[in-house]
Every structure is written in C-alpha cells, then in structure tokens.
Amino acid sequence: MPQFNLTVNKTMGPTCGFLRVWQRYTLSANLREFTLIYKQFAMISAISRSLFGIEKTRGQTSAQTPALAIRLTCGIITSMPTSHLNLDSLPRAFDSQIVSAPSLHLTLPQPPRRFFRHGWQSWSLAAWTDLTPRPIQQPKLLHPMQVDPAYADEISPHSSWVAAVEMAENDILLLGALGLDAHIRLDADQLQGQYETGEGEWFLGRGDEATVFARYVNELSKRLGKKSDRPAPRIWCSWYSLYTAIDEATLHSVFDGLGDLPFDVLQVDDGWQISIGDWEPNTRFPSGMKALAEKIKSTGRRAGLWLAPLIAVESSRLFRAHSDWFLRDARGKFVSAGFNWGERLFALDTTHPTVLEWLAALMKQVRAWGFDYLKLDFLYAGALPGKRHADMPREAACRQGLKMMREAMGAEAFFLTCGAPILPSLGLCDALRVGPDVSGKWEDPRDAVLLYNPTTPGTRNAIRTTVNRLWLQPLVMTDPDVAYFVERENSLSPEQKQLLQDLALVCNFKATSDLPQWLTPAQRESLHKFLNLNPTVQRLSHSKFQIEDRVVDFSSALPLPDPPTGATKIRAALISWLGNQPLALKMLKHMDDLSLHRRKKDLGNKE
C-alpha cells in the first residue's frame, strides 16, 4: 500500500534559514487523494519541493487504497506556537497520526454530536456529554480536591489529556496527549489541545470508540510504561464501613470475623494516624503499627495501609515545622489543596530535595512496619499549580514524587494510587482508582442537582466515571472502589449493589468494606462466591458487558443530572454559598463524626 510520510522539521534548512516552522508534523496515512494547503507563506511550493521532495501539493495515489483527504494548514512563522489541522475527512480504519506541538487546533467538518471529557484525577468526572455548557461544580472550596483547579471555571466542553468527539454513529475522533500537562477544549467545530509548558506529542485517531482508545493506549504505554503483571489482590478495606472511627480492638475483631473469606489484603484506611501529615499511630492504636501489620499477617494475608503523603492539614506538626516545604503561589501564599477533615489542606512541593527525602523515609518506615500494600491518596496535591522549588512542569513534579515513593517502597510492594492525576500515575503504580468514592447511597440529590457535583461519594458517580475510564485497563489495574453485600447502613437496591459487584468483575479488581458482623449468612456466602469468581468478560458496547452468560448494562448510571432551574437555582446558590464556608463544612464533619460514633457503639453491642 502506498504510504506517505510527511515530516516538517522544526528548522527549515538552508533555503529559508531565517524562518522556523513552529511545528513538526509526522503524518502517516494511506492516501488516495491528498491536499496540502499552506497558508501565510508565499514561498511554500519552493519549500515543499526542497523539503518533502513533492512537486505538487495535490496528488493521487492508487485507487485501491482507502480514500482520504487531508488538508494541512501549517504556519511557518516563529512566533506562532499553534499547529492547525483541518480534517475534512478521514477513513474509518486509520493509521495513527502523531503530531508534536505545544498547541493543536483541529477544525472539524461540523460541531460534533457528543464530547468525551476526561477528568484530571481519580475522582474527577469522565463522561460522554452533549455540548451544552456545564455549570461550574460547587463548592469552589473543594475544587483543588475534585477537579484540575487550573480549569475549574471552564463551562464549555473540556478535558484533561484526552478528548473524543462523536461526529456520527461509531465515528469518533480522538485527540490525546502523549505527554503530561495537556488540556483539550472544544469550541464549536474547533477541537483545541494545549500543553501548559512547551511542546509535546499528540495522538490523533479516528474510528470506532474501542479502536481509537486502544491505539491511544498503545502509544501511551510506549511512553509511560507497561501494566504490572501481578495478579489483582482481593481486598478488605476499612473505609466504607468504619470511616475514620477505627481503633485497634475494632479492627482486630473485624480481622478475626473475616475468617475464611478469601481476601488477600486487609487494608487499614484513614483514621490510624495522628494527623494528616503526621504519619505515626494515634492513641487508638496503642500497640503500634508493626503490631497491627503482624496481626493482619497472622491471618495469612498481606497488610495494607492508607496514607495521603503529599498533603498536610494546617494543624499538623509537619506543616507547622516545615512550612517551607509547602507549595506557594507566585505571591508567596500557600496553595490550597482543598478542605477536608474540618481543616484547610496544603500540598508538599515534590521538587524540594528535602521533601523527596522525607517521602522516601516515610515509605521505608511504613514498609518496615510490615505493610506491603500501600493506598496512597490525595496525590493530585503534587500536581497543583504553584511556584515550585525547582522550576518544573507541575505534573512532571508530581510524577517525580510518585517515582521517588515507588522506588522507596520497592517493586515488591503493591502500589495503589487514589485521588491521583491519571497520566502521571501510569507506569509507576500497580492499580489506580478510576472514579469517585462509592457510598451506601445511589446519589445525593444535594450534590448531584444543587451543587452539580459528580465527584462526591456516591455509587452512581463512581460507576459513571469508572465505566468511562475502562479504556485505561491495558495500562493499569483499574480500581472501581468497593462493592457492597450488606444491607446495614446502605440504601442501595439489590440491582444497584449487583451493578457494583459486576463493575468489580469487569475491572477484575475486587474489594469490599463490609463488616463481618453486619453480614447475614446468605450475604457472607455471596461475598465468598464473588471473591472466588474469575469470569470471562467481553465488552459489547460502551456500557454493555457480557459476563459469562449474562449481559450487564451500566447505562442507568451514566447520564448526568440536568442543571438546576427556577426555584431550584436559588436553593442551589444558597447551598453553594454554604459549601464555601469552612464553618459549615466543619459542622457537617462534626455531625458525621457523631453518627460514626453511634455506629461504632452499635457495632460494639453486636459483638
């Protein structure tokens, strides 16, 4: 098959030494017809002759090859940092095209029907949406924890690293960055990709959804690293039943109660530490962390631990003692990493050599305690915009911190990233949380409708984003969060619980937080069976999967609620205002703590 490889180098060469091409294009496609149109430059035919060895800018190849017309609009002026591509028509089966450019503008034949947006970090929304502007999700105080704060106020379709547009049924055009710090937006018929710092590669593909994502993934894996080949462990995690109300005695009784349930890892979540930033056991763990890991290992399982190593709360010893380790903005103010645990959060600067040493020492400490499954959370903090000790793009800085922690924990440790920017995690972690937290509720109407927030804990939010992140499966183990089997403290219908269990099977990543004390014999039996399942799974469409002989459809979780209108809009504004008041969030936390306390007392009575 005749193939054209077209390369415009950055420097034009002797014929036009004073000019530079601001972009390099590498184009490989099977062409029948091609049109190359150069704008803004009169000497172009001379240059095209000397550079590409083509006499004409229009031509034809043999009639057997698939039809393709590509119009390339190249700028050749030093000061223009943008590449323009006009893609009038491309064949369905399409050889991948890779373009290097700081910024890329693609003119589509018409505005697309739908847009695939990809959220920045684990909890941020990934979804196919229509083109109508989306209200800014609320509250803003939580933006650093939920979206890329650099783009939090964008209401038109936009996306981190990769976006896709549907031009017609099964006709998808994907634009995906192969480097970090890239963002894509759609403005009517203009799909625009932009690297924050310098030039980077872009992948461009057209075809059906599965094919274009598979090709993008293939290019990503060449650059960021391969999927780990170890088997996915089956995990019991303390978060979704006990939340922060964990203590040594309660965990021991849970670990004993799990009996012969086939878990590989028992993972202790948030609640063991003195404070976020001070990663030593608190007074509820008087025997210390080594003893806790020993207890887990005595049940024949691996010990897992949660930490959020890149953040600290304002009241932590770490923040007070080493404020110079924390990220600041250009004016010298601390950069907000969000608000949680009733406090403001700040981010460590992972370009600071002492911070990197501290992170490595922390990982070694945790490994020395005996934990070898590490769930590292709130990792977006390493990539927040700010002025760093070393001048480095923010996502490269985060990746450097992750790499340091991976090296310090050792290749034998299982590394799960959570609340993590997606591309910077690839090739470094074993598994990646690919959606928001689940909860015992399908959807919280306050968050979904009034705050227009698809990132807060809730089963629908978790399923929606996870299903839209399954394209990552060849690159990393995708963690969809836990599945539930209990009825206690849980309002999910049996069908909704089944969806979560099925999503775990699709992801081949099984975890639960269900307390053995809360499981009826029948529920325990179902959980046992589930943990031993290893079904064949086949994707039938975007939302439908064949799991052995059943067809499972996740489409009920995928739509996004409509933006508030009329009187609801007024309530929404009020709730948003409240959500931005630290005091209101502190009060909510206090109420949560009280109900947790009751839950734990109740658990004590049941034993």
Least distance in angstroms from the C-beta of 439 to ligand 9PG: 10
Greatest distance between any 2 Cα atoms in the chain: 87
- Candidates 6, 29, 125, 145; binder of ligand 9PG (CB under 6 A) is 145
From 25-33, 140-148, 175-183, 523-531, span contacting ligand 9PG (CB under 6 A): 140-148
Stretch binding ligand 9PG (CB under 6 A), from 141-149, 196-204, 258-266, 286-294: 141-149
Q: How many amino acids of this chain bind ligand 9PG (CB under 6 A)?
A: 14
Using CB under 6 A as the binding rule, the residues of this chain from 437 to 466 that contact ligand 9PG are 437, 455
Q: Which one, 68 or 418, has the nearer CB to ligand 9PG?
A: 418
From the list 209, 123, 160, the residue with the least C-alpha distance to 455 is 123
Candidates 424, 442, 554; CA nearest to 492 is 442
CA distance 286 to 256: 19
Here the tokens at position 193 are 């990709």
Give the per-residue contact string, 57-96, with ligand 9PG (x = CB under 6 A; - = no): ----------------------------------------
Minimal distance, residue 106 CB to ligand 9PG, in Å? 33
Q: Please, which residue, 30 or 340, has the CB nearer to ligand 9PG?
A: 340
Residue type for position 388:
R
Considering beta carbons, is residue 6 or 242 the nearer one to ligand 9PG? 242
Distances (CA, A) of 379 to 352, 392, 421, 473: 16, 17, 7, 20
Q: Which of 38, 255, 272, 306 touches ligand 9PG by CB under 6 A?
A: 306
CA distance 137 to 157: 14
Q: Which residues contact 247 (CB under 8 A, 6 or more apart)?
A: 284, 285
For the CB of residue 290, give the shortest distance to ligand 9PG in the complex, in Å: 22
For residues 204 and 482, which CB has a smaller minimum distance to ligand 9PG in the complex? 482
On the CB side of 431, CA atoms within 13 Å amount to 26
Is 472 a residue that touches ligand 9PG (CB under 6 A)?
no
Tell me: does residue 530 bind ligand 9PG (CB under 6 A).
no
Choosing from 121, 159, 273, 340, the residue that interacts with ligand 9PG (CB under 6 A) is 340
Tokens found for residue 535: 């079904």
Task: Give me the numbers of helices (H) and strands (E) for the chain, helices first please.
Answer: 16, 32
Rounded distance, CA 100 to CA 189, Å? Answer: 21
Q: How far is the CB of 447 from ligand 9PG (least distance, A)?
A: 10
For residues 478 and 552, give the distance between their C-alpha atoms in angstroms, rounded to a whole number.
Answer: 18
Q: Is 146 in the site for ligand 9PG (CB under 6 A)?
A: yes
* 429/418 Cα distance (integer angstroms): 10
310 part of the interface to ligand 9PG, by CB under 6 A: no
List, edge to edge, every strand of the sheet that includes 477-479.
Answer: 477-479, 431-433, 414-417, 373-376, 302-307, 265-268, 235-237, 511-512
What's the min distance (Å) between Cβ of 377 and ligand 9PG? 5
- Does 236 engage in binding with ligand 9PG (CB under 6 A)? no
Enumerate residues 6+ apart whose C-beta is below 8 A from 498: none
Q: How far is the CB of 318 from ligand 9PG (least distance, A)?
A: 17
Residue 484 as a binder of ligand 9PG (CB under 6 A): the answer is no
| Nearest residue (CB) to ligand 9PG, 191 versus 232 | 232
Closest CA to 193 of 155, 223, 159: 159
By beta-carbon proximity to ligand 9PG, the closer residue of 146 and 160 is 146
Distance (Å, whole) CA 52 – CA 22: 17
Judged by CB under 6 A, the residue of 31, 106, 174, 418 near ligand 9PG is 418
Stretch that binds ligand 9PG, among 138-146, 351-359, 556-564, 599-607 (CB under 6 A): 138-146
- If the CB atoms of residues 401 and 419 are measured against ligand 9PG, the closer one turns out to be 419
Which residue in 488, 492, 482, 487 sits closest to 444, CA to CA? 492
171 or 444, CB closer to ligand 9PG? 444
The string of DSSP letters for 313-328 reads ETTSHHHHH-GGGB-B
Q: Does 123 bind ligand 9PG (CB under 6 A)?
A: yes
226 φ/ψ angles, rounded to the nearest 5 degrees? -95, 165
Q: Tell me the residue nearest to ligand 9PG as measured from the CB.
A: 270
CB of 417 or CB of 501, closer to ligand 9PG: 417
The stretch near ligand 9PG (CB under 6 A) out of 139-147, 153-161, 528-536, 590-598 is 139-147
Least distance CB 602 / ligand 9PG (angstroms): 21
Residues 344-403 that bind ligand 9PG (CB under 6 A): 377
- Is 343 a binding residue for ligand 9PG by CB under 6 A? The answer is no
Q: Does residue 269 bind ligand 9PG (CB under 6 A)?
A: yes
* Structural tokens at position 321: 């003692």
Site for ligand 9PG (CB under 6 A): which residue of 239, 346, 373, 484? 239
Report how far residue 130's alpha carbon sits from residue 139's, in angstroms, rounded to the nearest whole number. Answer: 23
CA distance from start to end of the chain: 73
In angstroms, what is the minimal distance from the CB of 115 to ligand 9PG? 24
Binding span for ligand 9PG by CB under 6 A among 142-150, 347-355, 423-431, 594-602: 142-150
Is 30 near ligand 9PG (CB under 6 A)?
A: no
272 lies in the site for ligand 9PG, by CB under 6 A: no
Residues 6+ away with beta carbon under 8 Å from 603? 250, 515, 517
CB of 400 to ligand 9PG, least distance (A): 23
* Residue-wise DSSP of 401-460: HHHHHHHHH-TTSEEEE-S-BHHHHTTT-SEEE-S----SSS--HIIIIIS--TTSS-HH
CB 198: neighbour CB atoms within 10 A?
10
Binding mask 179-218 for ligand 9PG (x = CB under 6 A): ----------------------------------------
Nearer to ligand 9PG by Cβ, of 145 and 374: the residue is: 145
CB closer to ligand 9PG, 437 vs 443 = 437
Nearest to 429 by CA among 408, 418, 415, 409: 415
Summarize as ranges the residues that interact with ligand 9PG (CB under 6 A). 123, 142, 145-146, 239, 269-270, 306, 340, 377, 418-419, 437, 455
